[in-house]
Amino acid sequence: MSVDASEPIAEIDRILGDDPACDVAKNIAKNIVALPPSQAKYISYSQLAKFGHVEPADGRLLQCVATLTSGRVHLLNVFYVYENVNGEEYKISPEQLQEAHRHGFLVDPDSGEAVKDFRKHLYPYFERSN
Binding site residues, another protein, CB under 8 A: 36, 38-39, 41-42, 81, 85-86, 89, 91, 99, 103, 105, 107-114, 117, 120
- The residue among 58 and 105 lying less far from another protein, judged by its C-beta, is 105
d(Cα 66, Cα 21) in Å, to the nearest integer? 11
The distance of closest approach from Cβ of residue 113 to another protein in the complex, given in angstroms and rounded to an integer, is 7
- The residue among 6 and 86 lying less far from another protein, judged by its C-beta, is 86
The distance of closest approach from Cβ of residue 11 to another protein in the complex, given in angstroms and rounded to an integer, is 28
The answer to whether 54 and 24 have CB atoms below 8 angstroms apart is yes
d(Cα 99, Cα 101) in Å, to the nearest integer? 5
- The residue among 71 and 120 lying less far from another protein, judged by its C-beta, is 120
From the centroid of its chain, how far is CA 85?
Answer: 23
Going by C-alpha positions, the residue among 79, 78, 95, 84 that lies closest to residue 117 is 84
